[in-house]
């Protein structure tokens, strides 16, 4: 049976951690606006390349979630980050992961990339659909509201979802 869900896309950075703590503590600044309609699940998209300190931080947040009845889910992309890096550095004009390169004229910079979609957005969407009770090729008749922690300096990341069943909520 399909159901509406509200989830937090947890990236373990400052913005999503702040939002996570407000949700875990049922902070009045959220409950006065959203009532009890806070995320019931957090989804962490793990590219498999975070630092040890980041993974320790994630475990702390996961423990806090468990203590208050919030589901915490770690999802991974279908391809390994390290293998993709090797493959793409050898073969591609565009990278799906962040990589710094030096051009023939000795200028350095980040190569064009598309990693957020492949390593973060799509795994979170897949898990949100599962939480809704929707299979991979099934039509979603309900809505997944995905909360995203964001600051004003990242306003360019605020994009409307292209999926009919997904509503992004930026905080």
User: How many domains are contained in the chain?
Assistant: 1
**Is 151 within a domain?**
yes
- Please state the pTM of the whole predicted model: 0.80
Q: What is the CATH number of the domain that holds 120?
A: 3.40.50.620
Contacts of 146 (CB under 8 A, 6+ apart): 7, 8, 9, 124, 125, 128, 161, 166, 167, 168, 169
Render pLDDT for 85-138 as a digit per residue (tens, 0 to 9).
555 555 555 555 555 556 667 777 655 545 677 778 889 999 999 999 998 789
Q: Within a domain: residue 102? A: no
Q: Domain span at residue 164?
A: 5-78+116-170
Domain membership of residue 107 (yes or no) is: no
87 is a domain residue = no
Radius of gyration of the chain from its Cα atoms, rounded to whole angstroms: 18
> Is 104 a member of any domain?
no
Give 29-71 pLDDT, tens digit per residue. 999 999 999 999 999 999 888 899 999 999 999 999 999 999 9
In a domain, 67, yes or no: yes
Q: Does residue 16 fall inside a structural domain?
A: yes
**Is there a domain that residue 32 lies in?**
yes
């Amino acid at each position: 049976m399909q159901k509406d869900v509200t989830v937090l896309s947890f990236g373990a950075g400052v913005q999503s951690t702040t939002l996570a703590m407000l949700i875990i503590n049922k902070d009045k600044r959220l409950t006065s606006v959203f009532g009890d309609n806070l995320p019931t699940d957090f989804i962490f998209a793990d590219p498999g390349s975070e630092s040890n300190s980041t993974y320790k931080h994630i475990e702390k947040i996961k423990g806090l979630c468990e203590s208050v009845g919030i589901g915490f889910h770690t999802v991974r992309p279908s391809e390994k980050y390290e293998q993709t890096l090797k493959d793409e550095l050898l073969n591609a004009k565009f990278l799906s992961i962040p990589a710094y390169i030096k051009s023939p004229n000795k200028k350095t910079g980040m190569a064009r990339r598309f990693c957020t979609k492949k390593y973060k957005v799509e795994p979170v969407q897949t898990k949100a659909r599962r939480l809704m009770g929707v299979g991979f090729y099934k039509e979603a008749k309900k809505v997944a509201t995905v909360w995203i922690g964001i600051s004003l300096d990242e306003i360019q990341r605020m994009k409307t979802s292209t999926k009919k069943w997904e509503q992004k909520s930026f905080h």
